[in-house]
Amino acid sequence: MKNIFKQNKTITRWMNSGNRSVFYLLVIILLAMLAMSFLDPNFFTARNLFNVLNQQATLGIATMGVAIAMIAGCIDLTIGNVLASTAAIAAILLNAGVSDIWVIILTCLSGLVAGVLNGIIVVKTRVDTFIVTLGLMSVYQGIALIIPNGNNIYLQGRFVIFGTYRIAGLVPIPVIYFIIITIIAYLVMRFTKFGRQLYSIGGNPETAYLAGINLDRNKIMAYAISGLFASFTSLIVISRIGQSQPAMGAAYPLEAIAAVVIGGVVLSGGRGTIPGVFLGVILLGLIRNSLNILRVPSFYQYVMLGVVIIIAVALSNIGSNKKL
């Protein structure tokens, strides 16, 4: 009896320390998977599950960046267009005969620079981050068109392995990237002072400032990470489709924010966990996969996806203590 009580206390403590939404998400995901395995025997095969993960890996990596920024109270709407811009850079470099490793380094560097610039603009203008990055979104959309002169750039058979290789013929390499990046993001946000500072800034910027935290520098770093992850994502995408397109990544900002919020990060920042965001990404993928298996026409999928996002967020709110 005493033992049960103690166990309950541990669970309560775990739930309270920001894991509540992780718990709800796990329950929802398991229920969804259970339901799907009844409806379709093919659902619970390793191949299908890896496919779901593979489909979500690109969004997932970019989402980790968005999540880190949002935990610091910064919204980053630029990831989609940064992705398209760096994809064009990568494609041009590949066509110029630059070696793969240098393409990867230079592309990631350009994403990092874009992120740093975003961060500097955000902290210097002191305008709401949503508005500033909305403006920047359009800037990068322009850049994504200017760099390739509005054209798709084909990779001529180069750079295929980076995004399509399957380990042992089964595990897609992007899934490995996604998991590694998730683990790194988790470690950084959970165990480093940098992560702690981002949480503090999002939680209460005034308190953080008076505690000696450099708000500007940390925010710039958060945006830099977001830009870096977006550019890394672009490498996987071009590898998969064999070309760069100026319009790619358009749906990323909203889907990423949806996944982040479903994962339990609040829009104003300060709360939420990386495992939660990971599950948020997975849940979005599962829903899409389920709708495909159920042969729901894609037009209707958009509607249903929206409804599910709202329900998921509402459910995660029920668990929180806030009244308003």
Partner 1 sequence: MSKEGKILLEVKKCSKSFPGVKAFNKIDFNLYEGEIHCVVGENGAGKTTFIKMLSGALQPDEGTIEITGKEYLHLNPALAHQLGIQTIYQEISFAPDLTVAENIFIGNWPINRFGFINYAKLFSEAKKLLDNLKIDLDVEALVSILNIPQKQSVQIARAMAIEAKIFILDEPTASYGKNEIDNLLGLVKQCAENGVGVIYISHHLEEVFDIHDRITVLRDGNKIATHGKNEVSDEKIISEMVGRDVSKFYTRERVKIDYSKEIEFMNFSNGDTVKDVSFKAYKGEILGFGGMVGSGRTELFRLIFGADNRVSGDIVMEGKKVNINNPKQAINKGLSLLTEDRQKTGLILEHSIEWNTILVHLIKSGGPFINERKESKNVRHYIKILDIKTTNIKQIIRNLSGGNQQKVILAKWLYANANIVIFDEPTRGIDIGSKEEIYKSMVQLAKQGKYILMISSDMPELIAMCDRVIIMRRGEITVELNQKQISEENILNHSIGGTI
Q: Is 252 in the site for partner 1 (CB under 8 A)?
A: no
Q: Which of residues 16-35 bind partner 1 (CB under 8 A)?
A: 16-17
From CA 184, how far away is CA 118, in angstroms rounded? 23
C-beta atoms surrounding 15 within 10 Å:
15
C-beta atoms surrounding 206 within 10 Å:
8
Residue of 7, 83, 22, 6 lying closest to 271 (CA atoms): 22
Q: Which DSSP letter does residue 171 get?
A: E
Q: Is 101 in the site for partner 1 (CB under 8 A)?
A: no
The residue assigned the tokens 């380990």 is 167
Are 259 and 281 spatial neighbours (Cβ–Cβ below 8 Å)? yes
* Per-residue binder mask for partner 1 (CB under 8 A), 181-220, x = binder: ----------xxxx-xx-xx--xx-xxxxxxxxx------
Q: In the complex with partner 1, which residue's Cβ is closer, 244 or 273? A: 273
3-state DSSP assignment of residue 295 = coil
Q: Is 166 in the site for partner 1 (CB under 8 A)?
A: no
Q: In the complex with partner 1, which residue's Cβ is closer, 149 or 321? A: 321
Q: Is 157 in the site for partner 1 (CB under 8 A)?
A: no
Q: In the complex with partner 1, which residue's Cβ is closer, 103 or 224? A: 224
Least gap, CB of 220 to partner 1 (angstroms): 16
Residue of 189, 234, 166, 163 lying closest to 69 (CA atoms): 189
Q: Which of 65, 73, 174, 270 binds partner 1 (CB under 8 A)?
A: 270
Site residues (CB under 8 A) for partner 1?
Answer: 13, 16-17, 191-194, 196-197, 199-200, 203-204, 206-214, 270-271, 321
